[in-house]
Structure 1
Amino acid sequence: MAWVATAELAAAVSNAGGLGVIGAGHMPPDALQAEIRKVKALTNKVYGVNVMLMSPFVKEVMQVVIEEKVPVVTTGAGNPGEYIPALKAIGSKVIPVVASVALAKRLERTGVDALIAEGMESGGHVGEITTMALVPQIVDAVKIPVIAAGGIADSRGIIAAFALGAQAVQIGTRFVATKECIAHENYKQAILKAKDRSTVVTGVSTGHPVRVISNKLTREYLEREKNGATPEELEEMGAGKLRAAAREGDVERGSVMIGQIAGMIDCVSSVEEVIQEMVKGIPAVLSAIEQTCKEQ
């Protein structure tokens, strides 16, 4: 959600009753500080920042997070252990993203507050296990709360996540197609046009696989990957491509990081409308489940 989950979107989600999170990505520290201060001006609700631990600016970014006393910090692509004492000292809740039971158990021992179990259906950086298989195994393996992520777009997905043992859900793709999201219109239209099989996973050979919408860039990337391009060559090929798509609107040569549920999205709504639709739909889903059980 880097270049997509900005202060505007985070504030709108928090104001509508969710927990809005700024996606720091590879953002330099001064840019992140500006986003944090902007979100504070747009909402008085709790918000968060997602820190990519593989960012070249991670130490400086963490310092900004600490100085600004960010209330919730989610992390991805690594182990946040070295930063936990400083984050705890300012009262932050630390919630890493995990894609395996082994990592979940290891991070629980570091004192994190909860875990985001993210399945491979999600957009952007992904693991190898589906949400339905991953969430219950992590729930059974740890004692702290588990948040389900990946492949969730509506009330049905939320209920399914709760049935698997999750205590909350993290949703990304659905909120890109909202009025408050500042992603380029072409990026949003690419989501609306997407079908169930429109996404592909690139970068498996580099150890950092990414789910994106198939386009000219991905076809060339996958061809070069198949023919033995080095991780360095592939990294150079992908550098700056998310920004090119999300901010400049180049959805053919840019990287449109979107989850598999993109095919379920057919309109651009306000954040409040999206959240209200999800919440109001829950009783109907539960009622349908109950009716089905009675008929068995």
Structure 2
Amino acid sequence: MPFPTLNIGDLVARIPIVQGGMGVGISLSRLASAVANEGGIGVIAAAMIGMKEPDVAKNPIEANVRALRRELQKAREMTQGIVGVNIMVALTTFGEMVRTSIEERADIIFSGAGLPLDLPKHLRDACDQKKEEFRTKLVPIVSSARAASVIAKKWITRFDYVPDAFVVEGPKAGGHLGFKAEEIDDPNHSLEAVIPQVVEAVKPFEDEKGRRIPVIAAGGVYTGEDITRFMELGAAGVQMGTRFVATHECDADDRFKQAYVDATEQDVTIIKSPVGMPGRAIGNSFIEAMREGAKKPFKCVFKCISTCEQEQTPYCIAAALINAMKGNLEKGFAFSGANVFRVDRIQSVHELVSSLQQEFEEAISKRFGMLRA
């Protein structure tokens, strides 16, 4: 049985896989277009996307808008597939990034790291200002059924707009996590527990609006068998980040990718991020130094995250992630999912998707007692 499609409104992805939006600079146009060409949904991460612009410190808004436009245009030159943008609510440039994505006709905006309660307003304003209709889909990223319900109610009440889908990110995800530290290992907050809850929570809104709201499982999804399992729990598709880092097309430096290949299970750790959220990363000397109380004095020039406690934090997370993306891991660290230790090689996006397809088919065959001889 081949992969089923993932339908988000009138968008139809040939395979039910969303590539996670990974910043800083890990998923840009090259990776996003490669995934889109395989029939999945490729995603560009907007966080500090203007990091290489010469005026990013003096004109952060203009630099980031310029870089996002360029990456979306480059992606469009490389694929006819579905390309989205991941925009964190906590970004100080959130509004500008959303409007730019809409104007550049991104297919989907994925938004988390906070509740994107005003996201439809930006779509409505862009349509009014440009005197044309934009068809960008709006997909919140949540970690609970309650968050999904709050967003749906607010959007319907204030904007008469129902979310086009939800990404449900569990505690095994990489990067910043939408959980308290004590919830990360709690089975009640596992992705397996939360997916059915969110599926059930969105049903009243589907009935009210007469349309389907797909739920996409994210965080710890690693194999084709995992995809099968979460779809059996009610998910319409999955989001995968860690697997796509270890690909030739990933936009990060090869040394960043090699850190994934070299990581052991003991290397995976939870950090306290300067932005006020726990995060999962690959432990290294930089993280050890921070835990031992070392400080990296800095002057905040990026002002990228509204929740960053820059006066109290021992380091600039933007600088650390930029260094890591460039391969300078002694001056930064790599965010990763909980299953990063299972990565054993760097392969092409095509090879990865093909292996996931094969694993999916084998899992389906096992369930129906039709294993190939």
The TM-score normalised by the length of structure 1 is: 0.90
Aligned to 2:328: 250
SS at 2:71 equivalent? helix
- Write out per-residue CA displacement over residues 77-116 of structure 1, whole angstroms, 9 at most, x where no aligned residue: 1232323144365111111110122111111221211110
Counterpart-to-counterpart distance in 2, 1:25 and 1:194? 25
Counterpart-to-counterpart distance in 2, 1:205 and 1:10? 28
Q: Does 1:212 align with 2:212?
A: no
Q: Indicate conservation of the 8 Å contact 2:43/2:86, yes or no.
A: yes
Cα distance, 1:235 vs. partner? 6.6
- Write out per-residue CA displacement over residues 148-185 of structure 1, whole angstroms, 9 at most, x where no aligned residue: 00001211211121122111100011001101112111
Cα distance, 1:218 vs. partner? 1.7
Aligned to 1:194: 263
Divergent runs of 4+, >4 A: none
Aligned to 2:302: none
Q: Which among 191, 212, 221 is matched to residue 152 of structure 1? A: 221
Counterpart-to-counterpart distance in 2, 1:275 and 1:284? 14
- Write out per-residue CA displacement over residues 222-243 of structure 1, whole angstroms, 9 at most, x where no aligned residue: 3449xxxx94332744231111
Aligned to 1:123: 174
Aligned to 2:245: 176
Q: Indicate conservation of the 8 Å contact 2:246/2:347, yes or no.
A: yes
Counterpart-to-counterpart distance in 1, 2:335 and 2:290? 14
SS at 2:333 equivalent? coil
Counterpart-to-counterpart distance in 2, 1:196 and 1:148? 23
Larger Rg: 2
Aligned to 2:200: 140
Cα distance, 1:205 vs. partner? 8.4
SS at 2:331 equivalent? coil
- Counterpart of 2:202, as a letter, is V
**Distance verdict in 2 for CA 1:117–1:279, change over 3 Å:** same
Counterpart-to-counterpart distance in 1, 2:291 and 2:136? 40
Greater helix content: 1
Q: Indicate conservation of the 8 Å contact 2:47/2:91, yes or no.
A: yes
Query: Which is further off, 237-246 or 37-46?
Result: 237-246
- Counterpart of 1:199, as a letter, is V
Q: Does 1:44 align with 2:110?
A: no
Q: Which among 135, 147, 169 is matched to residue 91 of structure 1? A: 135
Query: Which is further off, 141-150 or 86-95?
Result: 86-95
SS at 2:265 equivalent? coil
Q: Which among 231, 234, 244 is matched to residue 313 of structure 2? A: 234
Aligned to 2:45: 23
Cα RMSD, aligned residues only? 2.1
- Write out per-residue CA displacement over residues 110-163 of structure 1, whole angstroms, 9 at most, x where no aligned residue: 121111000111111112333222222212222222100000121121112112
Query: Which is further off, 87-96 or 19-28?
Result: 87-96
Q: Which among 350, 361, 368 is matched to residue 283 of structure 1? A: 361
Counterpart-to-counterpart distance in 1, 2:234 and 2:368? 18
Aligned to 1:4: 26
Query: Which is further off, 82-91 or 56-65?
Result: 82-91
SS at 1:9 equivalent? helix
Query: Which is further off, 62-71 or 31-40?
Result: 62-71
Q: What is the identity percentage for the equivalent residue pairs of Structure 1 and Structure 2?
A: 33
Structure 1 unmatched runs, 5+? none
- Write out per-residue CA displacement over residues 41-66 of structure 1, whole angstroms, 9 at most, x where no aligned residue: 11111211111111121122122112
- Counterpart of 1:164, as a letter, is L
Query: Which is further off, 61-70 or 30-39?
Result: 61-70
Query: Which is further off, 268-277 or 127-136?
Result: 127-136
The TM-score normalised by the length of structure 2 is: 0.72
- Counterpart of 2:242, as a letter, is T
SS at 2:43 equivalent? strand
Q: Indicate conservation of the 8 Å contact 2:98/2:109, yes or no.
A: no
- Counterpart of 1:275, as a letter, is V
